[in-house]
Amino acid sequence: MRIISYNVNGIRAAIKKGFIDWLKTNPADIICLQETKATQGDVDVKQLEALGFYHHWFSAQKKGYSGVAIFSKIKPDHIVLGHGHAASDDEGRVIQLDFGDIRLINAYFPSGTSGDIRQDFKYSWLAEFQTYLNKLKKKYPKIILVGDFNIAHNEIDIHDPKGNKKSSGFLPEERDWMTGFLKSGWVDTFRECHPEPHHYSWWSQRFPTVRLNNKGWRIDYIAITEALKKQLVDATIYPDVKHSDHCPVYVELKEI
């Protein structure tokens, strides 16, 4: 099972930058997107279907905002839109698919960069989502959680940790949540395979040279429960894929 997680920062914009052509290269069996900023009706899905993808969408009530989708060449056994948290579901932040005994969750975590109100929402969302995951793990020991977490966990995950110590996405409370999350029985697949520095998945668009000089943040993750750890084959990041201010992150799991 090859899985990609990718914040496309607007799927219609990504398509104009060659996203469909990239899908034609068969980068993965399952493509999980965040921040689609669109509904299914806004996209020519025939292009996806021609490539063999089943496609599932969960969009925000607010037009052109947030939203998640999963394109899969493997037919899911079950689909869950949202996770039962009204404030989150209204923003189209979580979609879940079952493949056999594996639950795949694609999540677009809130950002707190716009101010205190959204930062507080982010904290409450993180706490609620952790509680939800703890309960879900009892029913589904094998879970793959992918998405834009909007958190750089450790100093190795950000190009300028000192300069960003007061920036949303690298605040102590957010990093502590991430530490607790991983300690609760989750594996950061990329770090499991790549302990070395200078790997990022997002670069600010404010300064054109930032991505060129690789001054980024690693805020996109594919996490798996400990029950899946022995099935981990590889995990990587594709910084040269450029349809967005993020890039795709990838994991491969073997069947047992």
In CATH, what number is assigned to the domain containing residue 150?
Answer: 3.60.10.10
Residue 212: per-residue pLDDT: 94
Mean pLDDT of 11-29: 98
The number of CA neighbours under 13 Å toward the Cβ of 28 is 24
Residue 255's pLDDT band, with cuts at 50, 70 and 90, is: confident
pLDDT tens string 205-238: 988 899 999 999 999 999 999 999 999 999 999 9
Q: What percent of the chain clears pLDDT 70, i.e. is strictly above it? A: 100
Structure tokens at 162: 């000192």
Determine which one of 6, 21, 108, 250 is catalytic: 108
Mean pLDDT of 50-61: 98
Q: Is residue 256's pLDDT more than 80?
A: no
Helix then strand then coil, % of the chain, to nearest 5 = 30, 25, 45
Residue 95: per-residue pLDDT: 98
Mean pLDDT of 180-202: 98
| Partners of 97 in the β-ladder | 79, 104
User: What is the count of structural domains for the chain?
Assistant: 1
Determine which one of 148, 157, 188, 220 is catalytic: 148
Q: What is the dihedral of CA 107, 125, 123, 194, to 10 degrees?
A: -20
Q: What percent of the chain clears pLDDT 90, i.e. is strictly above it? A: 98
pLDDT tens string 71-121: 999 999 999 999 999 999 999 999 999 999 999 999 999 999 999 999 999
Residue 208: per-residue pLDDT: 81
Catalytic status, residue 132 = no
Q: Which residues contact 246 (CB under 8 A, 6 or more apart)?
A: 6, 7, 8, 9, 148, 201, 202, 219, 220
Phi, psi of 148 (to 5 degrees): -85, 105
| Partners of 57 in the β-ladder | 69
Catalytic status, residue 148 = yes
Closest by CA to 21, choosing from 44, 43, 51, is: 51
Residue 46: per-residue pLDDT: 97
User: How do strand 220-225 and strand 186-188 relate by DSSP bridges?
Assistant: antiparallel
The number of CA neighbours under 13 Å toward the Cβ of 226 is 7
Residue type for 25, please?
T
Closest by CA to 95, choosing from 76, 119, 121, 113, is: 76
3-state DSSP assignment of residue 14:
helix
| Domain, as residue range, for 170 | 2-253
Residue 100: per-residue pLDDT: 96
Q: Is residue 184's pLDDT more than 80?
A: yes
